[in-house]
């Protein structure tokens, strides 16, 4: 018998550490449960994925300038041609596989600025051509949210309907898809895939107050707030800078964390404004690097969703600079729902107040996080077992049919 052919799909290898962490979790699952499978990727950064994970990878878009703004006629024509070429490329790639996995991440949400003809269109092509050529597409522990843009909402709704299997990382995501007209009666909620990754144990604080990790983000609001993007960004950076300065003035070492290459200018701006030897930027290339940093800290304040997960997973008391409902839901699920501050209204004084309350309850919250992490890991194990039963070929199980348009 020929080996099982499995593809992974998404904005992987493109500089977002959280996306790559979800890929790493799925590859670990495939090595453990389907060791004979032949795996490759259709992704945003194929060179990075091949170098880091050792699997063949193909570029997601034929046109290399897909995510650059097209202003000249030649660039507009090339981008339009690329959309047509990608139909053929995606269908041909999907046809070579038995199963294609979209590993976690917020592929069904627009909490950050997003154009409908970018990734939403690519995901629709995958799900539609997968249905046509008989390849099972699995959306595994994905994030979703309400979508204001009608084209993006339509593409997302049809992508979800056409998938052979889907599950969500939280109840909010499943509810959002149900509100968009998707039948979710057989869709399950598990956990973010990153909870399947190993994590170092957090250190036990002793003596005077120790280091604080502050995860920063190139935050400009959501897809529906483009008209206020610069105002939101300025308020976020100014508030975070004042917060970091206050910690440094108290003698606290501060490590700035990033979760995407886009965040580097924000970290640089804060570093330049505070100008203290106590403030440094951590060099992190993976979620494992992020977890080492958060495990070594007394406390974490973070914005990016997967920075939050890294801190919570290591058992370090964490305060969320929350930019969407998914962050609030995660913090509540992990027992820290009282420690969320809106990223759109970052106020240094209020943030410092919540930070001090968090540190006063540090020992208690560490015990809570240990219990919640054990439960989260169990939910991911159940997710992988359900995925194997639902979409991987076996003599004893036929794939569950999904709604057909």
Domain boundary assignment for the chain: 5-189, 212-372
Cβ–Cβ under 8 Å, residues 126 and 381: no
What's the mean pLDDT in 269-274?
A: 96
- pLDDT of the residue at 399: 39
Assess whether pLDDT exceeds 70 at residue 218: yes
What kind of architecture, by CATH, is found in domain 212-372?
3-Layer(aba) Sandwich (3.40)
pLDDT in tens, 284-303: 999 999 999 999 999 999 99
Task: Please answer whether residues 86 and 120 qualify as being in contact, where contact means their C-beta atoms are separated by less than 8 angstroms.
Answer: no
**Residue-wise pLDDT tens digits, 180-210:** 999 999 999 999 999 999 999 877 777 788 9
* Mean pLDDT value of segment 48-75: 80
Contact 237, 267 (CB under 8 A): no
Handedness of CA 161, 162, 167, 172 (dihedral sign): negative
Q: Which two tokens stand for residue 354?
A: 């919540």
pLDDT at 221 over 80: yes
Q: SS3 of 148, please?
A: coil
pLDDT at 397 over 50: no
At 3-44, the pLDDT tens digits run: 999 999 999 999 899 999 999 999 999 999 999 999 999 999
The pLDDT assigned to 404 comes to 33
Position 70 pLDDT exceeds 60: no
- What average pLDDT score do residues 68-73 get? 60
Stronger pLDDT, 319 or 74, i.e. the higher one: 319
User: How far are the Cα atoms of 61, 101, 321 from residue 77, in angstroms, in the given order?
Assistant: 15, 31, 41
Q: Give yes or no for residue 73 having a pLDDT over 70.
A: no
- Is the separation of the CB atoms in 233 and 217 below 8 Å? no
Please tell me which residue, 164 or 117, carries the higher pLDDT value.
164
Q: Report the share of the chain in percent with pLDDT over 70.
A: 94
Q: Answer yes or no: same fold for 5-189 and 212-372.
A: yes
pLDDT (tens digit, 9 = 90+) per residue, 299-317? 999 999 999 999 999 999 9
**Does residue 89 surpass a pLDDT of 70?**
yes
In whole angstroms, give the CA distance from residue 182 to residue 169: 17
Q: What's domain 5-189's superfamily in CATH?
A: Glycogen Phosphorylase B; (3.40.50.2000)
- pLDDT in the model for residue 69: 58
Whether pLDDT at 215 is above 80: yes
Q: How far apart are alpha carbons 271 and 255 in whole angstroms?
A: 10
């Amino acid at each position: 018998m020929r080996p099982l052919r499995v593809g992974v799909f998404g904005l992987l290898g493109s500089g977002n550490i959280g996306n790559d962490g979800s890929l790493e979790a799925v590859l670990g699952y495939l090595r453990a449960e389907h060791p004979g499978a032949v795996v490759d990727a259709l992704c945003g950064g194929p060179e990075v994925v091949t170098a880091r994970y050792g699997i063949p990878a193909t570029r997601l878009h034929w046109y290399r300038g897909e995510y650059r703004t097209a202003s000249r006629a030649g660039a507009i024509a090339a981008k339009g041609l690329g959309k047509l070429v990608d139909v053929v490329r995606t269908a041909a790639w999907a046809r070579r596989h038995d199963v294609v996995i979209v590993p976690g991440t917020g592929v069904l949400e627009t909490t950050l600025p997003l154009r409908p003809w970018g990734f939403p269109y690519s995901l629709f092509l995958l799900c539609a051509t997968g249905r046509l050529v008989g390849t099972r597409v699995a959306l595994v522990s994905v994030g979703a949210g309400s979508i204001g843009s009608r084209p993006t909402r339509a593409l997302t709704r049809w992508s979800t309907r056409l998938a052979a299997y889907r599950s969500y990382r939280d109840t909010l995501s499943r509810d959002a898809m149900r509100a968009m007209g998707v039948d979710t009666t057989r869709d399950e909620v598990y956990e973010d895939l990153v909870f399947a990754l190993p994590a170092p144990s957090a250190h036990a604080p002793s003596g005077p107050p120790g280091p604080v990790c502050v995860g920063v983000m190139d935050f400009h609001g959501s897809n529906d707030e483009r008209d206020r993007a610069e105002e939101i960004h300025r308020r976020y950076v100014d508030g975070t800078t004042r917060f970091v300065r206050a910690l440094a003035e108290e003698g606290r070492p501060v490590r700035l964390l990033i979760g995407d290459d886009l965040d580097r200018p924000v970290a640089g701006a804060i570093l330049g404004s505070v100008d203290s030897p106590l403030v440094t930027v951590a060099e992190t290339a993976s979620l494992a690097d992020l977890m080492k940093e958060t495990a070594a800290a007394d406390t974490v304040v973070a914005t990016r969703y997967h920075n939050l997960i890294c801190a919570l997973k290591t058992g370090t008391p964490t305060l969320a600079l929350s930019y969407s409902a998914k962050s609030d839901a995660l913090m509540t699920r992990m027992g820290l729902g009282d420690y969320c501050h809106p990223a759109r209204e970052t106020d240094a004084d209020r943030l410092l107040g919540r930070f001090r309350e968090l540190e006063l309850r540090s020992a208690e919250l560490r015990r809570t996080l240990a219990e919640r992490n054990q439960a989260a890991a169990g939910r991911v194990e159940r997710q992988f077992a359900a995925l194997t039963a639902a979409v991987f070929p076996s003599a004893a199980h036929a794939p569950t049919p999904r709604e057909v348009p």
